[in-house]
Amino acid sequence: MTSQTEEGKASYSLVLRNGHVIDPSQDLDRVTDVAIQDGKIAAVGDALDPGLEEEDLRGRYVCPGLIDLHGHWWEGSSFGIDPDICLNHGVTTAIDAGTTGHINFPVFRRNQASAATVQVLAFVNISSIGIPTPLVGELEDIRFARPLETARVIEANRDLCLGVKIREGSMTGKHGIEALEKAIEAATSTRVPIMVHISKGAETRRVLPKLRPGDIVTHCFQGRGDGIFEEGCRHLLPEVLAARKEGVLFDIGHGAGSFSWEAARKGFEHFFYPDTISTDLHRFSIARWAFDMPTVMSKFLHLGMSLPDVILKSTRTPAKAIAKGNELGTLKPGTVADLFAFEIEEGHFPLEDTHLRTEHASRRIKPALTIKHGRRIQPGSYPVRLRPLEECDQELFRLIEETANPS
């Protein structure tokens, strides 16, 4: 907190002036100032005292730093990318969705998560090896599913580990339910949620009733089959409605294969909206479909969601989903000074889903400034260095094109 200073002296290290502040955690949606001191939010309100430095955000929006609930941030996997590129586009907390399991988590922690400027947290994969490659599923051999070791790594890394990840689909082979039970066993013993990926091949109708309040289903609008809709029809599965009623959360996880305009619209027709918006950013999704959090958020603006709702699902709700609602995704005084300032740009913007269908949006979120722990970061500050693609990487792109749902 700041102390009262004599007239003419700065009361804060940085004051953001005249931005349109949207903070769903405080029902804030108006033009006002935000003051920062010692890496924390010091005050939010009109005509705040001067700061040592000032930033005029007239005409721009300001919200809590974005929390991307689902990405792949370990470069030891063929999916992984450098998490610090998140800081170019407003994400101040990047959550790794099970790229590592108990074998490789310690290396991920030491070499990637701890070395990053962005805050990196993680779900630990129930598979010992995490998700090394799209070529072979991490649970095709059920011996990789290790509840005891997974629980131990979570216990030993409570500051970073948020829960247990499992992918249900072709990568689980015929062991989907057995593997799920092992993931739940690890999560129950450590009192954390699980995040369940559902893709083609998942036994979704058997998976959902096993989930507990607070568990997260990701890829809810994938549109490739075995998702949240009755096969061949427009209705939501009864198990989906029951799970939501129980307190199971539904996440986007856009990725390279998991966002369909048609599935999202079908969901919206039934008043089924995602709880959280996330990119599922990885080596295969970053250069074409998902790009970054503002792009994925812009898709939901295009679908008709309001800007405060899109921000809610990218800040406050993911913070609560990872049991950090009092620390993250908020601009309450005393919390870490993680913020995102952006413009709403008007124009004609092509946005492609992962079924190769392009729609044109008239608005998009354009990053203006990220603030991490009180420090200002301009878009483009972190160079995007992606590993070169190998011939075998093309397999995944071919599969995405082959299985796209063109209707």
CA-based R_g, the chain, Å: 21
Q: Minimum CB separation from Zn ion for residue 269, in Å?
A: 26
What CA–CA distance (Å, rounded) separates 97 from 85? 17
Of 175-183, 278-286, 320-328, 335-343, which segment contacts Zn ion by CB under 5 A?
A: 278-286
Does residue 292 touch Zn ion according to CB under 5 A? no
Q: Minimum CB separation from Zn ion for residue 163, in Å?
A: 14
| Other CB atoms within 10 Å distance of the CB of residue 396 | 20
Q: Minimum CB separation from Zn ion for residue 70, in Å?
A: 6
Closest-CA residue to 18 (of 36, 31, 5) = 31
Q: Minimum CB separation from Zn ion for residue 12, in Å?
A: 39
Give 260-322 as a DSSP string: -HHHHHHHHHTT---SB----B-TTTTTTT---HHHHHHHHHHTT--HHHHHHTTTHHHHHHT
Closest residue (Cβ) to Zn ion? 280
Of 90-98, 173-181, 382-390, 397-405, which segment contacts Zn ion by CB under 5 A?
A: 90-98
Nearer CB in complex with Zn ion: 194/368: 194
* Contact predicate 194/215, CB 8 Å: yes
143: helix, strand or coil? helix
Nearer CB in complex with Zn ion: 97/122: 97
Nearer CB in complex with Zn ion: 126/337: 126
Closest-CA residue to 305 (of 274, 278, 328, 280) = 274
Nearer CB in complex with Zn ion: 40/299: 299
Burial 161-191 (b: 16+ CB within 10 A, else e): bbbbbbbbbbbbeebbeebbebbbbbbeebe
State which of residues 33, 280, 338, 353 lies at the interface with Zn ion (CB under 5 A).
280
Give all strands (DSSP E) within 98-149, no chain letters: 119-125
Nearer CB in complex with Zn ion: 32/100: 100
Nearer CB in complex with Zn ion: 280/292: 280
Q: Minimum CB separation from Zn ion for residue 138, in Å?
A: 12
Of 142-150, 170-178, 274-282, 360-368, which segment contacts Zn ion by CB under 5 A?
A: 274-282
Of 93-101, 187-195, 316-324, 364-372, which segment contacts Zn ion by CB under 5 A?
A: 93-101
State which of residues 36, 69, 97, 371 lies at the interface with Zn ion (CB under 5 A).
97
Give the angle 19-345-254 at the CA atoms, nearest 5°: 100
Q: Which residues bind Zn ion (CB under 5 A)?
A: 97, 280
